[in-house]
Structure 1
């Protein structure tokens, strides 16, 4: 059993004791389709600037996690080339895939042939600023939650993980869904609020970002920020 490394993280609704020996960082959906020019969101006319703003804080948390020896787990959303996994015709996820032109053939910014939200293409690669390194774990999901029909929970159990630092997009959909599912499984989640983003709805200033943060803080996890989390992961205040 790993030696416990307990730190106290400045968070809301209150300070949280975290065992670094049982902590992993999740990086959810920080991929070209959501956060890069030419990706699915950008092609659909969705403002990706809020997701772009989350890149630097997320990189800071990832760097601190690697320096401390914590597992970094990337979760990316992608579909099979034959689109057999997008759901039954008329289902909610199927309708979303039609609306977002999932599977459409496109040309990537680097001139490679690509397809929207399809595995093995530029569109579903991790953003270049957050490129995984050797030893990082990559998990594929095909719905909003990182836990639904994926290998994530098996990976976490194999690593004896209990605490999750969750980063990524979008706040009110994939992040909230993932944190809810984590809470149902008794994982303790911390969301650095500057490491997540939620674009506003088309033609509106409303995004649901603040509401999701309130829901997570009230019921499903804790909120902090990249600076506080990075300092905590660096072991400041840790006690064996």
Structure 2
């Protein structure tokens, strides 16, 4: 199918949706995923297996795997109004701060990627101080250097950091697919609405196994 024949997103062949792709894993870190975390998203733990399989698929093909980590500013800022857990009394997502979680036998760095999805030295890490992964970070530069044309996005929270990142990707010109069973939220209605809206105007939504076959 040539570019001139494409009339809608539905007409784009699956292989073209993931042409020269990278896997972008958004904020699957201790302070969001572990039991008892200040900003715990319980459903995030249900996505771990899907994300693990996608990581394996990408690494086996020597395709980029990129992780983002949300960091909270340690001084008063606008985000504290909506996430008061980031204030000094809790220190949610403060870089280097360690806490004990209900499902961990030791104190863990609160901003570190969960052990189940531990990055390898060759993977890229992007630290960010906002919801999106592009604004004020080196992500786009890394993607351009790697000649990436499309992104497969997993992670949490669907309607916040995942959505903001995926929309930014659209505006930066990357064909973007959200992993339907690889993203998670604490609000099922907002999760569903986000996936529906994204698929309508910004990119594609597909199951992890389907995306693996597209590769």
Superposed CA offset, 1:84-122 (max 9, x none): 4x63xxx3x13124x2244435xxxxxxxxx42111231
Count of matched residue pairs = 195
Query: Could you tell me how far 1:21 is from its partner in structure 2?
Result: 6.6
Which residue in the other structure is 1:210 paired with? 192
Which residue in the other structure is 2:56 paired with? 63
Q: Is it true that 1:96 corresponds to 2:78 in the alignment? A: no
Give the whole-Å Cα distance in 2 for the aligned partners of 1:19 and 1:38.
37
**Match runs of 1:34-73 below 5 Å:** 34-42=32-40, 48-73=41-66
Give the whole-Å Cα distance in 1 for the aligned partners of 2:181 and 2:17.
22
- Where does structure 1 lack aligned partners over 5 or more consecutive residues? 1-11, 43-47, 106-114, 201-205, 234-240
Which residue in the other structure is 2:92 paired with? 116
Query: Could you tell me how far 1:19 is from its partner in structure 2?
Result: 7.6
Q: What is the TM-score normalised by the length of structure 1?
A: 0.75
Give the whole-Å Cα distance in 2 for the aligned partners of 1:103 and 1:133.
31
Call closer, same or farther: CA 1:178–1:101 in 2, change over 3 Å: closer
Q: Is it true that 1:225 corresponds to 2:207 in the alignment? A: yes
Q: Is it true that 1:194 corresponds to 2:197 in the alignment? A: no
Question: What is the RMSD of the two structures over their aligned residues, measured on CA atoms?
Answer: 1.9
Superposed CA offset, 1:21-70 (max 9, x none): 7211000000011111132224xxxxx32111111101111111001110
Call closer, same or farther: CA 1:207–1:59 in 2, change over 3 Å: same
Q: Is it true that 1:129 corresponds to 2:116 in the alignment? A: yes
Which stretches of structure 1, 4 residues or longer, exceed 4 Å deviation after superposition?
Answer: none
SS of the aligned residue for 2:154 comes to strand
- Where does structure 2 lack aligned partners over 5 or more consecutive residues? 1-8, 98-108
CA contact (8 A) 2:18 2:152 kept: no
Q: What is the TM-score normalised by the length of structure 2?
A: 0.84
Give the whole-Å Cα distance in 2 for the aligned partners of 1:56 and 1:149.
31
Query: Could you tell me how far 1:20 is from its partner in structure 2?
Result: 6.1
